[in-house]
Amino acid sequence: MIFGTDNYVMQVAHRDGHRLAELARNIKDGHWFRSHTLCQGYKQLMGADVIIPTPISSNRKFHFFTILLHIEKPEEKLLEELSDGRFLYQLYGIQTHSFFSNIPFDREKKEEFLISGLTMGNISYNIKYISDETLIDKNEIDSILTSFNNIFSTYIPTSEISAINQSSGKINISSEFRFLLNQSFKVFDLTDGYFDPTIGPLVNLWGFGPYKLKNNPKKSDIQDLLEHVGLNKVILNDNYLIKDENTYIDFSSIAKGYAVDILSDYLLNKRINNFFVEIGGEVRTKGKNIKSNNWVVGIETPFEINSNIIATAQLEDLSIATSGNYRNFYKISDSLIYHTINPKTGYPAYTNMLSASVFSESCFLADAYATSFMAMGFEKSKKLLDQLKEIEVFLIYYDDKGNVNKYLSDGIKEKINLLD
């Protein structure tokens, strides 16, 4: 049961701090609960050394302390006494000063809590977390997302990014803006500029901004805007950036992923260790679902006429972001105009990539690379993947003969269930 080691750390928790203090005194004095049998056999059971290295502490619901035990063998009576519903505990085997096993007993019944709403205009969000009590509410989540939009939304005239885009020269920026811009520089460099947050004016020109397109843009208009596209035209310093008046920054291609990370960090700070956070299809997970299984997400087939699920992915402590042209496009005459714009040419990126699902601990990184791979195409993406250790992928693409192929990186194969 404990895998052959005789040293243990046990953490014990109880709702009643006085009851827990009584237990701590009994342990220290050589007694164990109210069981006469266990009291008699205590010294033989526990061995010579019983240490309480931490005082009784508390969180919002439980009081707890940690003890170091030297035990020949964990007796069933001891486990029964601890698992009678009054105490919650975890027992860890120790071998060469490292945790060797983790055996939880008798946790209280957990519930799945759901918070849903809209953000970034009309984009839906969904949060599921597992707990035995309500730890966060919708107002908290909406407040975080409102603050996020007040920094990064180009649709809010008074947002920080709107003020930056209307300015030039040296511009003071918030720590949140600096972080995302700094991360963007890293992905910009690694993708050789295929990921570029300054491409916003071209996205708008092609009708994927506030105004729809009626006719194809003029070549001269595209070339004029390309003169000001390129994240390397922005200089980032400690608490300010420098740009010219025509350089326009837009994080819309990664905003959902970054917002997912911010909400996930908030849940972690609330000591929520089992959750599912989703904004507009971008997902980050932690721990297990209500059934103690991995969280499962579906990946859609990248074809307009069929929106069925092509695969499912099992996620634990992992994010997924999927990019594809099958959701955001329109027709002009007989031409399909896709929303992924090649920042090098200024035109929609007609590559052999149909769909890019990227897995990473960070949802921002997953979102950024999913966007990049759509513009890069399969061959360039595959070459870059050899350099990236922090991401895994599921790519759907056309091969040279026009056949639809699927590529799974080694680290994600066991987590993907292909349905066709």
pLDDT tens string 362-389: 999 999 999 999 889 999 999 999 999 8
Lowest mean pLDDT, pick from 113-117, 135-139, 156-160, 327-331 = 327-331
Q: What is the pLDDT of residue 192?
A: 95
Q: Which of 193, 281, 273 is nearest to 234 (CA)?
A: 193
Amino acid at 208: F
- The 8-class DSSP code of residue 48 comes to S
Label residue 173 exposed, middle or buried (CB < 10 Å: 0-12, 13-18, 19+): buried
| Structure-model confidence comparison of residues 131 and 204, the more confident one | 131
- CA gap 286, 268 in Å, rounded: 9
DSSP 3-state of 254: helix
Tell whether the model's pLDDT for residue 42 goes beyond 70: no
Is residue 91's pLDDT more than 50? no
Residue with the bigger pLDDT between 17 and 177: it is 177
Go through the chain and tell me how many residues it has. Answer: 420
The predicted-structure confidence for 315-361, as pLDDT tens digits, reads as follows 999 999 998 765 544 444 444 445 577 788 877 777 788 889 999 99
Model pLDDT, residue 214: 57
The tally of CA atoms less than 13 A away on the side-chain side of residue 379 is 4
Q: Which fold has domain 7-105?
A: Alpha-Beta Plaits (3.30.70)
Q: Where in the chain is CATH 3.30.70?
A: 7-105
Rounded Cα distance, 372 and 340, in Å? 9
CA–CA dist 254, 127 (Å, integer): 19
Say how many Å lie between the first and final Cα of the chain, rounded. 41
Q: Map tokens 């050789």 to a residue.
A: 192
CATH 3.10.520.10, the chain: domain bounds: 110-420
Residue 105: per-residue pLDDT: 34
Q: Is the pTM of this model over 0.75?
A: no
Paired tokens of 333: 């005459």
Q: Which residue has the higher pLDDT, 268 or 354?
A: 268
Q: What three-state secondary structure class fits 420?
A: coil
Check pLDDT > 90 for residue 118. yes
Coil/strand/helix, residue 173? coil
CATH 3.90.1150.10 for domain 110-420, yes or no, is no
| Partners of 312 in the β-ladder | 298, 417
